[in-house]
Amino acid sequence: MKLYNNFIRTFTDLPNHTTLLIHSLTGCPLHCFGCHNYDEIIANTPKEYKTTDDLYDYLKKSSFLFDAVMFSGGEFLINPLNEVRDLLQQVRALFDGKIIVTTSGVYYQKLRTLYEENLVDGVHIDMKLPYHVLDIKEDAQIYKDIMGITPSKELVDQLIASVEAVIEHNSILDQVRTVQYPLLDEAFFTEIRHFVEERKAYHGSIVPYFLNEFVYPRS
């Protein structure tokens, strides 16, 4: 698995933790509006990159600098499950801190495996639209404008199931997140929050929900 050449230390992605942010370079099935990583990481894969062995060496030498590791993309779970499993198992063996994976939710079965095999401590999932109330035909243009895809029932079912799985996991290290896209009316965000809070109440879940400000990519 190829990894972005810069490992980034961040203090905001996981509250109360210093996190090492790692991007995989294997692409993304989406092309979301205003994606900050699309040009540099997805559309044009950097010629220089790090390998998983580079990451393991870095963890052995520098893991005292952070107490969490976060894997992102693109879409980290686009990678084959055996590669994801091997990577996370190796990190778990080398690193005593928390392991987080970010995802759009398009790979529900892989997400379930992360939880079932204790490969992660938390998942941060983006709920980009109120999938549960949108019609895949009548609202297809909304999916296209925000996520860069043509929706199908199978895909929407995966997205909803993934959000449900994160909420059901019920950890303060999980997150459901929404970007406040400027193309959408406030009613979209109200509907998303209502769905998340209703599912949290159903599961008795403490998973935090964040509505994040949209930031235009640097030109």
| Three-state secondary-structure class, residue 204 | coil
Say if 22 falls within a structural domain. yes
User: Residue 114 maps to which CATH number?
Assistant: 3.20.20.70
At residue 37 the predicted structure's pLDDT band, cuts being 50, 70 and 90, is confident
Say if 19 falls within a structural domain. yes
Residue with token string 């052995």: 60
Residue 46 has a pLDDT of: 75
* Number of domain units in the chain: 1
Instruction: Report whether pLDDT(106) > 70.
Output: yes
122 cis-preceded (ω within 30 degrees of 0): no
Say if 196 falls within a structural domain. yes
Say if 133 falls within a structural domain. yes
Q: What is the pLDDT of residues 139-180, one digit of tens each?
A: 999 999 999 999 999 999 999 999 999 999 999 999 999 999
50 vs 53: CA distance, rounded Å: 8
Say if 122 falls within a structural domain. yes
Say if 114 falls within a structural domain. yes
Domain that holds residue 191: 3-210
The mean of the pLDDT values for the chain is: 95
Do the beta carbons of residue 207 and residue 175 sit within 8 Å? yes
Say if 184 falls within a structural domain. yes
Say if 93 falls within a structural domain. yes
Instruction: Report whether pLDDT(72) > 90.
Output: yes
| End-to-end Cα, the chain, rounded Å | 29
Token digits of residue 117 = 């095999």
**Burial label, 33 (beta-carbon count in 10 A; 0-12, 13-18, 19+):** middle
Q: What is the DSSP string of 98-154?
A: EEEEEE-S--HHHHHHHHHTT--SEEEEE--S-GGG--TTTTHHHHHHHHSS---HH
Please tell me the pTM assigned to this model.
Answer: 0.95
